[in-house]
Amino acid sequence: GARGIAVSDAVVYASALESDLFTPVFDTLDRVHGDGRLPRMQVTLSQDLFGEEGSFDPAPLPGFPGGRILIATETEFARMTFLHEVGHLIDGYGLGTGRFFGSERMDRFATWREAVDGSSVVRQLRATVVDLATNQRIVDLLRYLL
């Protein structure tokens, strides 16, 4: 198991619905991540994400200095989207300062960034997957991820 403080310790669910849906994600994640003391963050389902699947909003809220994670009620892949947004929580507060993502700006990740960006898999994805996508939403998502 992971050493350190479980990531799930930072999360407060808005209701039992979110808890039932997303707790299984942490059953796995907490086995491998012990990322220190992360700020409390609210997790809630939302109908107002303007076409987005999920959102990590680090702006502090009363009682939630880490902000919130919003997951679209209509998303087909709610748990995968939640896991992606939790990655932003870890990157922003576990690796970074809360003002930026550590993986994007910290010098200690420069070699890792170069390796990922220069990998044959990322080059292949950039060259083919985006060109093959006919759904603009998928194209936008792939450009964001790559």
Which residues, 6+ apart, have CB-to-CB distance to 124 below 8 Å? none
Which residues, 6+ apart, have CB-to-CB distance to 12 below 8 Å? 40, 41, 42, 43, 64
Tell me what the mean pLDDT of segment 79-103 comes to: 88
Residue matched to tokens 């107002």: 48
Instruction: State how beta strands 54-57 and 68-72 pair.
Output: antiparallel
Nearest CA among 96, 45, 50, 112 for reference residue 72:
45
CA distance 20 to 43: 12
pLDDT in the model for residue 46: 94
Tell me what the mean pLDDT of segment 76-105 comes to: 88
Tell me what the mean pLDDT of segment 54-75 comes to: 93
pLDDT in the model for residue 1: 59
pLDDT in the model for residue 37: 81
Is the pLDDT score of 4 beyond 70?
yes
pLDDT in the model for residue 73: 93
Alpha-helix residue ranges (DSSP H) falling in 6-109 = 16-32, 78-89, 102-105
pLDDT in the model for residue 62: 95
Tell me what the mean pLDDT of segment 116-131 comes to: 83
pLDDT in tens, 97-114: 777 888 888 999 999 999
Confidence of residue 130 (pLDDT cuts 50, 70, 90): low
Confidence of residue 71 (pLDDT cuts 50, 70, 90): very high
Tell me what the mean pLDDT of segment 120-127 comes to: 85
